[in-house]
Amino acid sequence: MNTTPEHIVIHTDGACSGNPGPGGWGALLEWRGHKKEICGGENWTTSNRMELTAAIRALESLRQPSPVTLFTDSQYLRQGITSWIHRWKTNGWTTASRQPVKNADLWRALDSLITRHKVDWQWVKGHAGNPGNECADRLARKGMQQQGTP
């Protein structure tokens, strides 16, 4: 029996109609030739919250600790989780200018999840024809439509 965790590739995206406004998030998970699409949304949110939520929901959906390559078109998400978060935690969830970190609830949730999984965070240019990113974008828009936004 093989108990080695499978490497998982995840593409995430967030969308928002207005900022703030109705929003959606989407994620495409791929492993061993299988694909899983997930999406959802909120009635009143921001684009950044949806980007974070997409990564959180994707990682939450994994059944066991796994090595993951996560692709995002959000520099906010990638820079936040790979760089800025260390200082925020040291500063008691405040920025360098001593302001509360925006979306701290989601950053904390994401920080907790990455202690369970080994995540390699990769940035990909959005709307540039990358099939995984295009799928995640479509799913995010679907999640937004579920909130009643065309």
Catalytic residue ranges: 13-14, 51, 73, 127, 137
Quote the crossing angle between the two packed helices 47-60 and 104-113, to the nearest 10°: 20
CA dihedral 60, 64, 69, 70 (to 10 degrees): 0
Other Cβ atoms less than 10 A from the Cβ of 29: the count is 20
The set of residues, in sequence order, having a beta carbon less than 8 Å from that of 61 and lying 6+ positions away, is 27, 29, 36, 38
Q: At what angle do helices 131-145 and 47-60 cross, to 10 degrees?
A: 110
